[in-house]
Chain A
């Protein structure tokens, strides 16, 4: 009887916590729609910032473009080392000493405050290598930031593939790379892609690493590697911090949240597809 009451209390607790999170999330989105929604128009999305001070009029097109460039570059830089590390951990190193050390390192990397990553890339790329405040430096900083996310999500997607496949392949004497290419990787592809998308979303929302490496108040965001870019979170920060235009700040925030929601929903549907694949 007493145990049943404990279960009931716990269950109630779960529900309250879950609802609380849902309420907070909905409140944020609704508030953004209420404050920012009326200012979103095709002009806001497709025009450059204007007015004086800058940003009080016009739109945020270069910031959208800049953010897309930044996350694309971050992905391009981090995808190969990220996937290779994940493959080493799941297929080659397994529970070996080196794999343990790498796992620890990746975990520690995930714990680095993103502003520290930003300052590191500022010192190394922006100053020492002479990149200046640039798309390249920002993409590099974001790549360092998302690398552990990619490693962990890809590793887990690979490890979730039925161990029996590896056993069977091994007893046929085929190489690990052949098994990986024919069986393991195709099997984990949806999960890996979901992880990459989550990493993209994480990069799109990050402000600290690009503040000191890539972002400018105004830029065309043409995609040139050695030029600064505008970015949604930084633009939002400027509008908000300098009290330039609260209306535009909320509208920018709404666009950013919309982009993140889109990416995350895509990632979620891919990972539920992966779960269905794993069950068969």
Chain B
């Protein structure tokens, strides 16, 4: 069964259509990269899944998206959906709290009170993003002191702390140096052993390096989705071929 499934999904900002009739499935335990030129609707597609796209004024959609089999449109309580679907943004954001409280921001809200439970969640999540060894001696220091790459890993840990089943990442490495990017790519590969990961990226090399499947979007339409190697080496559509070979971008 697919973890995230778009069914005849259309999205609009005001009168302007940004996504046309999207039908696509994302499986569990896999990384899917979404590529396409700027403004093609990649981010809207991502943000439609956890229903943060609708916070934009004038946003409208029809069709459906199913997450873990349930329609997102029928979700009464958005926290339930957003707990299942974690999201990491382009800009690394550290909340103005300590490193520890950044990770525990979600769990505390969802009612974890026991000191040892909280400590366990924090250590587990920081280890998952390979940040534990770097910060274990300064957990109570402001997270603002971390570097950009560390902040981004902290953001992933914060998202993992509420135990999502899907992790959405919107160009998570575009402001990071190659070393930090490498670290994040490694940890995404590990996380994919238990999560459905969907990553929007401008970096075609990154898509090739880490994703099992790649989807190409152009002008709000899904042109092609295929195993990554196939999409890059022998795509069905001439448009995909043009894009991945750098003819336009």
Number of interface residues of A (CB under 8 A): 19
- CB–CB B109/A171 < 8 A: no
Chain B interface size band reads 20 to 34
Main secondary structure of the interface of A (DSSP, over half): helix
CA distance A250 to B97 in the complex (A): 50
B97 touches A172 (CB 8 A): no
> In angstroms, how far is the closest chain B Cβ from the Cβ of A161?
9
> When each residue 98-109 of chain B gets 1 if its CB lies under 8 Å from chain A and 0 otherwise, what string results?
000000011001
How far apart are the CA atoms of A168 and B144 in the complex, in Å? 15
**Contact (Cβ within 8 A) A173 B81:** yes
Once A95-B57, A182-B105 are accepted as A-B contacts, the answer to whether A170 and B97 lie under 8 Å apart by CB is no
Question: Are the C-beta atoms of B82 and A168 separated by less than 8 Å?
Answer: no
Query: B97 to A173, Cβ gap below 8 A?
Result: no
Q: How far is the CA of A40 from the CA of B67 in the complex (A)?
A: 75
Query: Which chain B positions have C-beta within 8 A of A31?
Result: none
A178-B109, A182-B105 known; A172-B82 Cβ under 8 A = yes
Stretch touching chain A among B31-39, B86-94, B232-240: B86-94
Q: Which residues of A contact B82 (CB under 8 A)?
A: 170-173
Q: State whether the Cβ of A165 lies closer than 8 Å to any Cβ in chain B.
A: yes
Interface string of B124-168 (1 = CB under 8 A from A): 000000000000000000001000000000010011001000000
What is the interface of chain A, defined by CB distance below 8 A to chain B? Answer: 95, 162, 164-165, 167-175, 178, 182-183, 186-187, 280
The interface centre, meaning the residue of B79, B91, B109 with most chain A CB atoms within 10 A of its CB, is B109
Minimum Cβ distance to chain A for residue B72 (Å):
13
* Alpha-carbon separation in the docked complex, A170 to B106 (Å): 10
Q: Do A172 and B109 have beta carbons less than 8 Å apart?
A: yes
Task: List B residues 33-54 near A (Cβ within 8 Å).
Answer: 50, 52
Given contacts A170-B82, A171-B159, 19 further A-B contacts (CB under 8 A): A162-B93, A164-B89, A164-B91, A165-B96, A167-B93, A170-B52, A171-B50, A172-B105, A172-B109, A172-B159, A172-B162, A173-B78, A173-B83, A174-B105, A175-B79, A178-B109, A182-B95, A182-B97, A280-B144
How many contacts between A and B, using CB within 8 angstroms? 61
**A187 to B91 alpha-carbon distance, docked (Å):** 19
23 residue pairs A–B, Cβ–Cβ below 8 Å: A164-B91, A164-B93, A165-B95, A168-B95, A168-B155, A169-B105, A170-B55, A171-B87, A171-B89, A171-B159, A172-B83, A172-B105, A172-B106, A172-B159, A173-B79, A173-B80, A173-B81, A173-B82, A174-B79, A174-B106, A183-B96, A187-B96, A280-B144
Query: Which residue of the partner chain B has the closest CB to A94?
Result: B57
A174 contact set on B, CB distance < 8 A? 79, 105-106, 109
* Interchain nearest-CB distance for A219 vs B (Å): 47
Closest chain-A Cβ to B171's Cβ sits at a distance in Å of 14
Encode B200-215 as 1/0 by CB contact (under 8 A) with A. 0000000000000000
